[in-house]
Structure 1
Amino acid sequence: MVPAAVLFVFAVGCVCGAAAERKLVYVTVLFRHGDRSPVKAYPTDPHQESDWPQGFGQLSQIGMQQHFELGQFLRDRYKTLLNESYDRHEILVRSTDYDRTLMSAEANLAGLYPPSGQQVFKPDLKWQPIPVHTVPQSEERLLSFPLKDCPRYQQLMNETEHTEEFLNVTATYQDIIELVRNKTGLNHTTVETVWGVYDTLFCESLHNMPVPDWASPDVMKKLQKLKDFGFQVIFGVYNQQEKSRLQGGMLLGEIVKNLSRMAIPDPQRRLKMMMLSAHDTTVTALQASLSVFNGIQPPYASCHMIELYRDDNGAASVSMFYRNDSKVKPYPLQLPGCSLDCPLDEFVRITKLSISEDRDKECQLPSKGTDKQVIASLAVAGCLLLLLVVLLLGFLCRYKEPMSNRGYQHVINRDVGEYS
């Protein structure tokens, strides 16, 4: 009887476990574009825009390959979520309005949805067009950070530059900052701007272009550390959560909103994946708002995945993964204060602190100085008004004296005589 009872309990446990099994129902993937040419050259750079096949800031063939392979990875990872053939109702693709991000998304989709059957429109071409949506860069408020329309954020950045950590890093690397200024012909180099020189040198070396002698391995290593610190400064180091509310929290808010909506079963809904093609700063902004940023610039084609699961009992949970190396499996990311498989309601509660309900209002500068000015102005106005009242009362009192008092006329005659 005992073995039978144990067997029964085991069977019930298996059935209950199967009933509560998590099922992937929706995923958001945010990735950085692939390898590109430098965004710009420094004044003394021997390699100018004409040395690059498509000019500055353009996706290279290496970058195209990186995203084609990422698309193949996503195909394998989400083969049970997505149809094998492209279905326009299942995926929505959004990109910033840059050639390199638009092309990265297209290369990615080529790996994710190789055409088959009726979707093949040219037998010798294993590719099909898939729409990628965007908005003009001047209107982009979801995928391009840091946004420069926020006075409070600019104030936070100014305050960051006066923190002990920022000043210590500046002092530690002052010799490198001066070296870059002297060797590149740039008039203004700081901890926050010197990363651009590293980026240019990195791109050139990656594409087998000779770099100047002064850019030794030791110098490049120090520039790399400054570059990574520059990313930390933009979204953290000082008042990280407030910076997130004014920057990456905007994207996080949209993602959380979509997760909450997709967690509610709807037989009519067919969307399974939101694909976002953007930049290293976009990935950093999102990860900083989630407090999972590792402090290192996201590499080309790095991908942050946010997966929504639902079990048969209706409970929803969120898991996050980060793929920043194609040679290893994606790293699981744990939201601070929650488990790796974070219940959706907890995910929403925790992330709420990094999401602004009224960003435009929070972007306004604190009004302490303005209040003092108003108080001072009111005090001056009050004094002037009091003085005016005193003068007016004195004037009225004089008029109330009896007309028979000849002294009144005598005073007027004396005043006139004094002024003549």
Structure 2
Amino acid sequence: MFIFRCGSSSCPLLLSFLFVVVLSVVPVRSQPEPQKEGKLLFAQALYRHGDRTPLEPYPNDPWKDPSHWTTEWGQLTNTGKQRHLELGRWLRNRYRELLSATYSKDDIYVRSTDIDRTIMSAQANLAGLYPPVGADVWDSTIQWQPIPVHTVPVELDTLLQTSKFCPAFEQVLKQHERSVEFQAYNQSLESLYRYLTTHTGSIVNSPTSIQSLHSNLHIEELHNFTLPEWTWKVYPQPLWEISARAYAMETNTTPLARFKVGPLIKELLTRFEKKLHKKLTPNRSLWVYSVHDITIVNLLNGLRLFDLHNPPFAACLMLELRQPSSGKPYISIYYKNTTAEPEALEIPNCGTRCPLHRMFKVYEDVIPGDWDRECQVSLSNAESNVNETFGNMVYIVAISSITIIVVMLLVLVVYWKQVSGYHNDRWYLCIDGS
């Protein structure tokens, strides 16, 4: 046993020396180096439009006069344009290895919902993504060039706007809204509904109507408008949480997600597959969608990646296909909803680097085979039920009518016999006795 004794002034210095020596021989567990990302092959991005004005002010809104705003209701503001210009520049830096400096239709495809604010956001974003250089400079006084943004009419959009009528979805949604859980949640908000209805001057009776109100208050707050005193009790909480829950309502179950966002998930994964198998024509490197907050939530929820929140303006969801130096290509999903650099999300049962074939397996229950046919199944069942019900009603009415007629005839016969008198009775007797 070694005993160290120190009785001089040099003791502290000697102890320090021995401490350093001990540390130098004690093994230190090294931290594993972060995995290097594979080569980026292809990306698909979806972003929410930029800042807008309220869609419609509530009746008692102190800021409902249009003179307080710089543009019409529901339109993109200058702040929204600037926000997307900056996001476009950020995307240019992130995808610089995919895109050439000058615009080419074979590099990128941009699709927007057929709404002013999303189309304008896409144009502002492209101004940051493709600042004109070289031959693209067509007017030296403006740093902008026209780039195509494609749309589909709202009523036909099954992918982004998801407004095309789907009977099966409506049926499943109604069933969900009649569920014990939903009814209990809705009833728990009754006192809040009454409070908000009293102060807003409009009928507030659902999570969706609360979501609309929360959006208005949030936008007014962003514009530094003073909110009414009554809002202090309910904003930001609990309105923020109720609004966030309302976003997820339409994709809260697997059947709902299959009808509402299944076509989009199918298109995204199928396009990755085409890219891998060199069947994407033109062989583009970037696909972009300009959409709404609900589109972002639907996709996150359908992918089972949604954390309760209200997507901010210009929130951006990115799905990227990469090829590692060794091994199979994989998909990573990133969500940029702050100014910080995004981190890869954890794909359920697959991790942050999910092989494409596993992606199809993970989400097979929300990917429709034939969306149009599946949507009409419940309609056919409904029509069949209606026809069956109608047939049963006709049968019941017919039987009832016949029964009533027979009873009436019997009553008439009895009545006739009672009033026919003695002479009629004798006539019957004569016939019987002849």
Q: In the alignment, is the contact (CA less than 8 A) between 2:88 and 2:127 conserved in 1?
A: yes
C-alpha separation in 2, matches of 1:165 and 1:184: 28
Segment drifting more, 89-98 vs 134-143:
134-143
CA separation of 1:234 and 1:77: change in aligned 2, threshold 3 A: same
Report the residue type matching 1:139 in the other structure: L
Match of 2:231 among 211, 215, 239: 215
Is residue 294 of structure 2 the alignment partner of residue 278 of structure 1? Answer: no
Match of 2:343 among 312, 325, 331: 331
Aligned 1:9-20 pairs, distance under 5 A: none
Corresponding position of 1:159: 175
| Count of residues paired in the alignment | 366
Q: In the alignment, is the contact (CA less than 8 A) between 2:196 and 2:204 conserved in 1?
A: no
Is residue 95 of structure 2 the alignment partner of residue 81 of structure 1? Answer: no
In the TM superposition, residue 360 of structure 1 has moved relative to its aligned partner by: 2.9
In the TM superposition, residue 220 of structure 1 has moved relative to its aligned partner by: 3.1
Report the residue type matching 1:319 in the other structure: S
Instruction: Render the CA deviation track for 1:60-109: whole Å, top value 9, x for unaligned.
Output: 11111111111111111111111122222100000011111011111111
SS of the residue 1:156 aligns to: helix
Corresponding position of 1:395: none
TM-score, length-normalised on structure 2? 0.76
Corresponding position of 2:215: 199
Q: In the alignment, is the contact (CA less than 8 A) between 2:312 and 2:337 conserved in 1?
A: yes
C-alpha separation in 2, matches of 1:375 and 1:42: 44
Corresponding position of 2:71: 54
In the TM superposition, residue 355 of structure 1 has moved relative to its aligned partner by: 1.1
C-alpha separation in 1, matches of 2:279 and 2:165: 38
Q: In the alignment, is the contact (CA less than 8 A) between 2:269 and 2:356 conserved in 1?
A: no
Is residue 126 of structure 2 the alignment partner of residue 123 of structure 1? Answer: no
In the TM superposition, residue 187 of structure 1 has moved relative to its aligned partner by: 3.1
Report the residue type matching 2:289 in the other structure: L
C-alpha separation in 2, matches of 1:267 and 1:190: 44
In the TM superposition, residue 303 of structure 1 has moved relative to its aligned partner by: 0.6
C-alpha separation in 2, matches of 1:47 and 1:222: 22
C-alpha separation in 2, matches of 1:41 and 1:148: 27
Match of 1:348 among 360, 373, 384: 360
In the TM superposition, residue 149 of structure 1 has moved relative to its aligned partner by: 1.1
Structure 1 vs Structure 2 CA RMSD: 3.1
Which runs of 5 or more residues in structure 1 are unaligned?
Answer: 1-16, 386-412
In the TM superposition, residue 219 of structure 1 has moved relative to its aligned partner by: 3.7
Segment drifting more, 328-337 vs 152-161:
152-161
In the TM superposition, residue 129 of structure 1 has moved relative to its aligned partner by: 1.4
C-alpha separation in 2, matches of 1:222 and 1:123: 51
Report the residue type matching 1:374 in the other structure: E
Corresponding position of 1:174: 190
In the TM superposition, residue 211 of structure 1 has moved relative to its aligned partner by: 2.0
Corresponding position of 2:328: 315
Instruction: Render the CA deviation track for 1:220-244: whole Å, top value 9, x for unaligned.
Output: 31111111111122221xxx11011
Q: From the CA coordinates, give the structure whose radius of gyration is larger.
A: 2
Is residue 117 of structure 2 the alignment partner of residue 100 of structure 1? Answer: yes
C-alpha separation in 2, matches of 1:276 and 1:173: 35
Report the residue type matching 1:38 in the other structure: P
Q: In the alignment, is the contact (CA less than 8 A) between 1:176 and 1:223 conserved in 2?
A: no
TM-score, length-normalised on structure 1? 0.79
SS of the residue 2:236 aligns to: helix
Match of 2:314 among 296, 301, 305: 301
Runs of 4+ residues over 6 Å off in structure 1: 378-382
C-alpha separation in 2, matches of 1:111 and 1:291: 31
Report the residue type matching 1:129 in the other structure: P
C-alpha separation in 2, matches of 1:380 and 1:139: 38
Is residue 48 of structure 2 the alignment partner of residue 32 of structure 1? Answer: yes
Corresponding position of 2:251: 235
In the TM superposition, residue 348 of structure 1 has moved relative to its aligned partner by: 1.6
Aligned 1:337-416 pairs, distance under 5 A: 337-364=349-376, 365=378, 367=381, 370=384, 374=388, 377=391
Corresponding position of 1:264: 277
Corresponding position of 1:65: 82
C-alpha separation in 1, matches of 2:279 and 2:375: 37
Instruction: Render the CA deviation track for 1:328-351: whole Å, top value 9, x for unaligned.
Output: 111312221212111111112222
Is residue 263 of structure 2 the alignment partner of residue 250 of structure 1? Answer: yes
CA separation of 1:266 and 1:225: change in aligned 2, threshold 3 A: closer
- Percent of aligned pairs sharing the same letter: 33
C-alpha separation in 2, matches of 1:368 and 1:56: 39
C-alpha separation in 2, matches of 1:269 and 1:311: 24
In the TM superposition, residue 26 of structure 1 has moved relative to its aligned partner by: 0.9
Instruction: Render the CA deviation track for 1:93-144: whole Å, top value 9, x for unaligned.
Output: 0001111101111111111111112211222322211111112222222111
C-alpha separation in 2, matches of 1:92 and 1:53: 31
CA separation of 1:36 and 1:380: change in aligned 2, threshold 3 A: closer
